[in-house]
């Protein structure tokens, strides 16, 4: 299948991939062809951020797959958008996904980043103590933290404990 990569400035490139490739595999190919490191890439399909583990074949609509079987010459083409993200933020996000407690070592602006804090508490709920107080009041962050480490409930706002 062909994957057309588009950026804010327009068309970037076309890559040939298998349906069995993952988004992570595609990012590696983009890095080889463009020099943009995998960690700086955010791929989007139809407004949805794509996780690295997602199979490219799962992005093909069911009716497009049926057309390919009927017509041997038809090539499935995916249209994806590439957003280049800040390398510092991307590295921080990667780090907290590997070790949630490293949230403590990040700069204040990164500890105030909701996506980074959520990734950290999903990895280790205790990381919530290093989050900005406002983010500790966020119900989704609180639930992720408590789901991983129940005892962190004592560090959360009373309103969240009561389920309000």
Residue of 163 and 135 predicted with greater confidence: 135
Angle among Cα 82, 84, 85 to the nearest 5 degrees reads: 130
Residue 22, classed as helix, strand or coil, is strand
Locate 159 and state its tokens. 């309103």
Task: Delimit the domains of the chain by residue range.
Answer: 2-85, 88-161
Distance between first and last Cα of the chain: 49
Q: What pLDDT does residue 154 have? A: 76
Work out the average pLDDT over 22-43. 94
Locate 59 and state its tokens. 């992005």
Locate 18 and state its tokens. 């298998």
The region that residue 35 occupies, defined by phi over 0 for left and psi between -120 and 50 for alpha, beta otherwise, is left
Q: What pLDDT does residue 148 have? A: 86
Counting Cβ atoms within 10 Å, is residue 20 exposed (0-12), middle (13-18) or buried (19+)?
A: exposed
Task: Say yes or no to pLDDT of 29 above 90.
Answer: yes
Pairing of β 41-45 and β 77-84: antiparallel
Q: Each residue of 130-159: pLDDT tens digit?
A: 999 899 888 999 889 998 888 887 777 665
> What is the reported pTM?
0.67
CATH of 2-85, one of 3.30.830.10, 3.40.50.150, 1.10.10.10, 3.10.20.90: 3.10.20.90
Work out the average pLDDT over 111-130. 94
Task: Say yes or no to pLDDT of 52 above 80.
Answer: yes
């Amino acid at each position: 299948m062909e994957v057309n990569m588009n950026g804010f400035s327009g068309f970037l490139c076309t890559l040939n991939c298998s349906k069995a490739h993952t988004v992570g595999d595609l990012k590696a190919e983009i890095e080889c062809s463009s020099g943009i490191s995998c960690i700086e890439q955010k791929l989007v399909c139809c407004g949805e951020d794509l996780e690295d583990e997602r199979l490219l074949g799962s992005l093909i609509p069911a009716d497009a797959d049926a057309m390919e079987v009927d017509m041997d010459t038809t090539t499935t083409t995916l249209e994806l958008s590439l957003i280049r993200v800040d390398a510092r933020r991307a590295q921080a996000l990667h780090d907290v996904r590997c070790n949630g407690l490293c949230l403590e070592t990040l700069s204040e602006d990164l500890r105030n980043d909701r996506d980074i804090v959520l990734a950290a508490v999903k990895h280790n709920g205790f990381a919530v103590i290093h989050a900005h107080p406002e983010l500790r009041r966020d119900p989704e962050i609180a639930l992720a933290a408590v789901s991983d480490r129940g005892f962190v409930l004592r560090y959360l706002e009373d309103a969240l404990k009561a389920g309000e």
